[in-house]
Amino acid sequence: MTVEESWERIERWIARHAPEEDPLPGPCTPADLERLYEALGARLPQDVERSLLRHDGSGLTDILPPGYTLLGVEEILRHRAIWLKDGALNDANLEEGEKLFLVPFAALSVTQLLVDTRTGRLGWWDIEQCFNWRDDPLWHSFADVLDFVGSLLASPPPWTATLSGDGAWEVTDRDPDFPRMLVWTEGTVD
């Protein structure tokens, strides 16, 4: 499935089941991308670029399990600068030369998903465990994980996903604290 087809499925689910969500951001512009690439010194993989041309991040909507929001162009620049300054500085899990090719594109609190601009491979970073590659095939590329979410949301409920090492997660529109919004919950909703 293409990035655009995955987004169509996600957008349909939000429109039908989560009308209380803030609207997803509009697209970034090609000029925004060129400015981003100039600042990064590299291009993002095509799947991440196509997603940004559809939605410049996801705002407050938790698109990826277990609750990652996608970063827009300005957020990518801000998160990357902070990560290079503080997070990657003494990361024993990374070779010095690798750091320049990793770019944050999604965040869950202080945990970030990063994409390798050379290969499209995904990894994650947090302050305690530092950087690690995502070994689960689901996280092979951004297009793969977006396809997974789009396919899950296009299926009949319950929208339950089993993530390697993370257990079962369910997308729900019936969270008692956030009704009619897209929420990832650990386990299943009764």
For the ranges 40-49, 90-99, 138-147, the lowest mean pLDDT is seen at 90-99
**Which secondary-structure segment (H or E) carries 160?**
strand 159-163
Q: pLDDT tier at 95 (50, 70, 90 boundaries)?
A: confident
SS3 assignment, position 154: helix
Q: pLDDT tier at 60 (50, 70, 90 boundaries)?
A: very high
Residue among 97, 47, 46, 52 nearest 76 (CA): 52
Instruction: Domains for the chain: give ranges and CATH numbers.
Output: 3-158 (3.40.1580.10)
Residue among 117, 109, 108, 167 nearest 142 (CA): 117
Contact 69, 57 (CB under 8 A): yes
pLDDT number for residue 189:
53
Contact 179, 173 (CB under 8 A): yes
The owner of tokens 């590659």 is: 133
Q: What is the pLDDT of residues 106-149, one digit of tens each?
A: 999 989 999 999 999 999 998 888 888 877 888 899 999 999 99
> Cα(first)–Cα(last) distance of the chain, in Å?
31
Q: What is the pLDDT of residues 71-81, one digit of tens each?
A: 999 999 999 99
Q: Which token pair is 119?
A: 């290969």
The answer on pLDDT for 173 being more than 90 is no
Cα torsion 53, 54, 58, 62: sign: negative
Q: ω into residue 23 within 30 of 0, thus cis?
A: no
pLDDT number for residue 166:
63
Q: pLDDT tier at 27 (50, 70, 90 boundaries)?
A: very high
